[in-house]
Amino acid sequence: MWLWFHKLSSPPYAYRMATLLRPWFFWTALALIVFAAYGGLVLAPPDYQQKDAFRIIYVHAPAAIMSLQVYVVMAIAAAVGVIWRIKLAHAVAAACAPVGAAFTVVALATGSIYGKPMWGTWWEWDPRITSELIQLFLYLGYMALRASFDDTQRADRASAILAIVGVVNVPIVKYSVVWWNSLHQAPTISKIGKPSIELSMAWPLYTMLLGFMLYFAAVLCDRVRSEILRRERNANWLVETVKTS
């Protein structure tokens, strides 16, 4: 296990693995997203109350889930970088932030589009919506903090602390509809017990979520490679890799 951990923390090994895995993640994600979109927009029956307006859930819900999952990955990577002083872990954390911020923007935008016909307003200072907005600010704050340092090591340490502290907002977002009165509907799929959605509507949702996960993995591979190139630009192994590629 420790040998595997040591190899994974090696920039040359991580660069090669990211290069190898990226196309598998990307093309599988693309196929799943297209299939899920067809299932959600065409095959799934309309909701008996919301009619076809509910179909935005096939983008909104997976994006919202990914906005939290990516932050957890970022916080774990930051913690690994601080505890074991693994530079590659900081690179992974830095690579996660823009992707997580993008998922959060999509979740907020699609939620606003859904809220207008359902609630009669584009925005409401609802516990779930407000905590999700704070999630976006945490991503933006992490990126801004990193950019404020010229020294990479100082940027790694400072931003890692913010990422680790900010992870407290993840359960707040997730359980806000349970802890407080909320316009937002209660958990549908991410809950203990049977999901509150019919299988004919649920399978495109799960498929889209899996597609988003693999898309995140593909983009993460690209961004980690970019971070490695930036951090290891003077390393001998990178010069040899460029010559042989």
Residues 6+ apart with CB under 8 A from 161: 78, 82
To 10 degrees, the CA torsion angle through 78, 93, 135, 218? -140
Task: Give the helix ranges, DSSP H, for the chain.
Answer: 2-8, 11-38, 57-84, 87-119, 127-147, 152-166, 169-179, 199-231, 236-244
Tell me, what's the pLDDT at 241? 67
Per-residue pLDDT tens for 146-197? 999 999 999 999 999 999 999 999 999 998 887 777 766 666 665 545 556 7
φ and ψ of 51, to 5 deg: 55, -135
* Angstrom distance (rounded) from CA 89 to CA 232: 14
Helix (H) or strand (E) run with residue 127 in it: helix 127-147
To the nearest whole percent, how much of the chain has pLDDT over 90?
63
Tell me, what's the pLDDT at 30? 98
pLDDT at 4 over 60: no
E strands, the chain, in order? none
Report residue 186 as tokens: 């209660």
Taking the domains of the chain in order of start, what are their residue ranges? Answer: 17-41+52-189+201-230
Architecture of domain 17-41+52-189+201-230: Up-down Bundle (1.20)
Per-residue pLDDT tens for 73-126? 999 999 999 999 898 999 999 999 999 999 999 999 999 998 888 888 888 888
* Angstrom distance (rounded) from CA 31 to CA 33: 6
- How many Cβ atoms sit within 10 Å of the Cβ of residue 180? 13
Average pLDDT over residues 232-238: 74
Helix (H) or strand (E) run with residue 142 in it: helix 127-147
The model carries a pTM of 0.91
Q: How far is CA 6 from each of CA 9, 10, 84, 233, 234, rounded to the nearest angstrom? A: 5, 7, 11, 21, 22
Per-residue pLDDT tens for 188-216? 665 545 556 778 888 999 999 999 999 99
Tell me, what's the pLDDT at 219? 98
Per-residue pLDDT tens for 123-148? 888 889 999 999 999 999 999 999 99
DSSP code, position 167 = T
Q: How far is CA 27 from each of CA 37, 162, 224, rounded to the nearest angstrom? A: 15, 34, 18
* Angstrom distance (rounded) from CA 54 to CA 48: 10
Q: How confident is the model at residue 238 (pLDDT cuts 50, 70, 90)?
A: low
* Angstrom distance (rounded) from CA 74 to CA 87: 14
Sign of CA dihedral 205, 217, 89, 64: negative
Report residue 200 as tokens: 């004919």
